[in-house]
Amino acid sequence: MVKNKLLFALLLVVAFAIVGAGLSLVFSRFIKFSDTGSVETVTPEKIVSQQGHSAKPDFAFNPPAPQDAPTDIKDAVLLGYNILTNTRKYAAKYVGNTLTCGNCHFKGGMTEGGKNGGLSLVGVGAAYPKFRKRQNYAVDLVSRTNDCFQRSMNGSPLPADSREMMAIVTYYQWISKGVPIYADVPWLGVKQLKSAYKPDAVKGKQLFMQKCSMCHGANGQGTLAAPPLWGKDSFNDGAGMAKLDNFSAFTHLNMPLGNPDLSIEDALNVALFVTTEPRPHFAEKTGQGS
């Protein structure tokens, strides 16, 4: 009797096992268990390969006007704009020459850059912190701005918490409204010229006298119409514009101002002449800024 009960129990277990296996096979056709809770570990390298770099930006150049800034930041935005367009008046104690930021960043940097547009600042509020080869590290907008004050303006760094620096950064961010954080902003920077041409400083001097001296002065010291390009009142040898590649690209796109017509070869010749003329030596100052 006991043996019969054990045999019956064993047969019942086997029967349930067979039925369970059958049901599992049937339902597996309708349910994908891999979609109900599994998590794939994705490395940063894989993320980059999936995203790619071919997508077209879904934003356009459309900076808001400084005067349209919200009430709580409007004073700061307007001061930032004034500093950019008249640096010697609104940030005088930090400037060491007769230049203003607007000499390179036309109209306070509110241009789209490129042909006759200077160096745009629209979007920098979304592009920083950013890695820079000069520091071999990521730098923020305060450090980047102070780099310009010490090099292009041959001056001193602004304290990070100064009224002027806070106004400049607020202005950057306001005119960058609508630009996605860390987007690839096509109008920022200056694209260097592609040429195998070897520039000639002698030809550059001749061209400078013909096309540039009327505004910049025969001795390159500037006039009421245009800034000095060398000498004690111009940018020092640590500035970005002191580099042949940068100066030639900027000149090709923007000079003569309002009607740029220099060929790539002419721009390279003029750039070699100007960048090899004497100018202040860069000496980094500390104790003021970041």
What domain count does the chain have?
Answer: 2
Max Cα–Cα distance, the chain, nearest Å: 123
75 and 156 share a domain? yes
222 and 132 share a domain? no
pLDDT along the chain (290 residues), means of 10: 48 48 42 40 37 60 97 98 98 98 98 95 96 89 98 98 98 97 94 96 98 97 97 98 98 96 98 98 69
163 and 206 share a domain? no
d(CA 73, CA 52): 37
Across 180-192, b (16+ Cβ under 10 Å) vs e yields eeeeebeebebee
How many CB atoms are closer than 10 A to CB 123?
A: 26
Query: Among positive and negative, which fits the CA dihedral 36, 42, 48, 49?
Result: negative
Q: Burial level of 255, CB count in 10 A (0-12/13-18/19+)?
A: buried
Question: Is 229 contained in some domain?
Answer: yes
Distances in Å between the Cα of 3 and the Cα atoms of 7, 11, 17, 208 are 6, 12, 21, 114
148 and 244 share a domain? no
CATH number of the domain within which 99 lies: 1.10.760.10
Q: With contact defined as beta carbons under 8 Å apart, do 200 and 150 qualify?
A: no
**How many H helices and E strands in the chain?**
12, 2
Decide which of 175, 191, 215 is a domain's last residue. Answer: 175
- Residue 139: which domain range? 66-175
Helix (H/G/I), strand (E/B), else coil: 215: helix
Query: Among positive and negative, which fits the CA dihedral 93, 146, 250, 229?
Result: positive
268 and 169 share a domain? no
Angle between helices 71-85 and 163-175 in degrees, nearest 10? 100
Report which DSSP code applies to 274: H
This prediction's pTM = 0.79
* Bond preceding residue 44 cis, omega within 30 of 0: no
Predicted confidence at residue 180, as pLDDT, reads 96
Question: Is 288 contained in some domain?
Answer: no
d(CA 244, CA 196): 14
Predicted confidence at residue 58, as pLDDT, reads 79
Please name the residues in contact with 209: beta carbons below 8 A apart, sequence gap of 6 or more: 218
Predicted confidence at residue 289, as pLDDT, reads 42
Predicted confidence at residue 56, as pLDDT, reads 64
DSSP-based helix, strand, coil % in the chain, nearest 5: 50, 0, 50
